Structure 1
Amino acid sequence: MPEGDAVRRTADRLDRALAGQVLTGSDLRVPQLATTVLTGASVERTATHGKHLLTRLLPPGGTPLTLHTHLKMEGSWRVIAPGARWPGPAADARVVLRTERAEAIGFLLGLVELLPTADEQSVVGHLGPDLLGPWTADDEATALARLTAAPDRVLGSTLLDQTVVAGLGTIWLSEVCFVQGAHPRSPVASVRDPLRLLRRARQMLRSGLEHGQPLTTGDRRNPVWVYRRQRQPCLRCRTTIEAGPVGEAGRERTTYWCPRCQPA
């Protein structure tokens, strides 16, 4: 599943193509919206909260609307020139938005819904603070309180919980735990400085957004410390990297760690 920085890059790509433009056509290929017509609406922008995309529309003389989409595991948004060949099967398209200068197609989107922009909190209000958002002092305090609310909970499971903090996935979970020296399968209470962990997570996502890829080591030849490096030597101490599941039952995800740099 794309992580917060990848979702923000998707939103930026949609903004470059659609923001400030008027829709000359639309096709919402989900049953509950199959008869909805958005032609004539102007596109304000696509905002994000964690892994959620919020494309804000201004219909002529109507109520501002938000097209809420989520990529889940397989979804993507692709932007092409009008009339160009689609970069995926038509059967996989869930949303099509056309303007005079571009066409945006959402393939295999895991979620598509349309709601008044004023009601956006009904779909993202339950989420934790967005690591790529404005990140005020209140956001930081809220994230810290949610992270430490259940000290016996597994750290990796807690960080993947989007209601705690929004935007982290398995890449950044693995990397921030390594840099923090925290084992992802240890309890939250074992983290020596949870506020520093959150700040590092935010820095990593912002770096990923800036560089267009994870680059936690600073070396493009070996860009990550532990993610997907199981059975390879740790770049810091040469101990063999290990991997294992974290997450709630039925929704486990694989994470990675160095048993020496991150003792359990």
Structure 2
Amino acid sequence: MPEGDTVWHSAHRLHAALAARVLTRSDLRVPRFATADLTGRTVLEVAPRGKHFLARIEGGLTLHSHLRMEGSWRIFAPGQRWTGGPDHQIRAILGNSEHTAVGYRLPVLELIRTADESSVVGHLGPDLLGPDWDPQEAVRRLTSDPSRPLGEALLDQRNLAGIGNVYKAELCFLARATPWLPVGELPDEVPLRLVSTAHRLLEANKHRPDRRTTTARATGAALNTPGQERLYVYGRERRPCPRCGNRIRRAEPQGQQDRVSYWCPSCQTGPPPPD
């Protein structure tokens, strides 16, 4: 599933292609909205909210979409061949005289009233890349259930919106805690430092094509990380930990932890994955 920085970047590309332009083509290929016709309306803006896309359209309408694991929005120039998958995977087409935005494999696509946006994104916590970012509120939500494993709490978009599995693994490493450590067992100063680091990392990566977390500024300490490495632990099982040199491990999804986890069993404090 895309991280919040990827969604932010995609939403801003959609905004640049569609905003302040009149739609000359509109095709929503989901049964509920197949008859909806948005042609002739102006796209006002395309805004990200956590991992959600909100395309606000003249007349008080919002096209809400979410990529989940396999979805994508692609932008094409007139006459350009569409490359994002076979035609039967297209769920939405929004076009104007200069660009066509094509949504492939979108598992969530719905047309709602702009006034009702809270019904689809109102449950989200502070957006790490949004104007509502509030680190104190993020800490309050993150620590509201002291018994909850840190990895699960970080992935819960109701706590803070925008963290996916890559950032979960990297943030747990930077906090020196395993993903299964109960949030309540973190030292008092760590939650605020953790959400502040998350905000800093997503801000630093929202314009980058290749995500990087291995920065001295992010860690506050010098680590022995080869220059070519972009991530500390995610996707690096069996390779040496950049902090202690021991092998990084991977745990398969179990229980509520529905994503794979990467961690260093030597320098990250806390319980291992459940049997």
TM-score under structure 2 length normalisation: 0.89
**Shift of residue 211 of structure 1?**
2.4
Match of 1:259 among 222, 245, 265: 265
**Shift of residue 135 of structure 1?**
4.1
**8 Å contact from structure 1 (residues 185, 246) kept in 2:** no
**Shift in CA distance, 225/189, structure 1 to aligned 2, threshold 3 Å:** same
User: Where do residues 10-89 of structure 1 align in structure 2 (5 Å cutoff)?
Assistant: 10-58=10-58, 63-87=59-83, 88-89=85-86
Letter in 2 for 1:197: L
**8 Å contact from structure 2 (residues 15, 47) kept in 1:** no
Letter in 2 for 1:77: W
Query: 1-side partners of 2:9 and 2:210: how far apart?
Result: 10
**Shift of residue 34 of structure 1?**
0.4
Look up the match of 2:3: 3
Q: Higher mean Cα deviation, 238-247 or 182-191?
A: 238-247
**Shift of residue 44 of structure 1?**
1.3
**8 Å contact from structure 2 (residues 9, 207) kept in 1:** no
Query: 2-side partners of 1:168 and 1:255: how far apart?
Result: 14
**Structure 2, unpaired ranges of 5+:** 216-225, 271-275
Aligned length: 257
**8 Å contact from structure 1 (residues 160, 170) kept in 2:** yes
Query: 2-side partners of 1:120 and 1:45: how far apart?
Result: 14
**Shift of residue 85 of structure 1?**
1.6
Query: 2-side partners of 1:211 and 1:24: how far apart?
Result: 32
Look up the match of 1:155: 150
Letter in 2 for 1:243: R
Tell me the SS of whatever aligns to 1:132: coil
**Shift in CA distance, 223/42, structure 1 to aligned 2, threshold 3 Å:** same
Query: 2-side partners of 1:194 and 1:154: how far apart?
Result: 13
Match of 1:207 among 201, 204, 220: 204
Look up the match of 2:162: 167
Match of 1:243 among 241, 250, 267: 250
User: Where do residues 167-246 of structure 1 align in structure 2 (5 Å cutoff)?
Assistant: 167-192=162-187, 193-218=190-215, 221-245=228-252
Query: 2-side partners of 1:21 and 1:83: how far apart?
Result: 19
Q: Higher mean Cα deviation, 239-248 or 209-218?
A: 239-248
**Shift of residue 69 of structure 1?**
0.2
Q: Higher mean Cα deviation, 82-91 or 48-57?
A: 82-91
Query: 1-side partners of 2:107 and 2:156: how far apart?
Result: 18
Tell me the SS of whatever aligns to 2:151: helix
**Shift of residue 171 of structure 1?**
0.4
**Shift in CA distance, 77/223, structure 1 to aligned 2, threshold 3 Å:** same
Aligned-pair identity (%): 48
Query: 2-side partners of 1:93 and 1:226: how far apart?
Result: 35
**Structure 1, unpaired ranges of 5+:** none
**Shift of residue 261 of structure 1?**
2.0
Q: Deviations over 1:62-86 (max 9, x none)?
A: x311100000111000001123221
Q: Please identify runs of 4+ aligned residues in structure 1 that moved more than 4 A.
A: 245-248
TM-score under structure 1 length normalisation: 0.93
Q: RMSD of the alignment, in Å?
A: 1.5
Look up the match of 1:92: 89
**8 Å contact from structure 1 (residues 150, 188) kept in 2:** yes
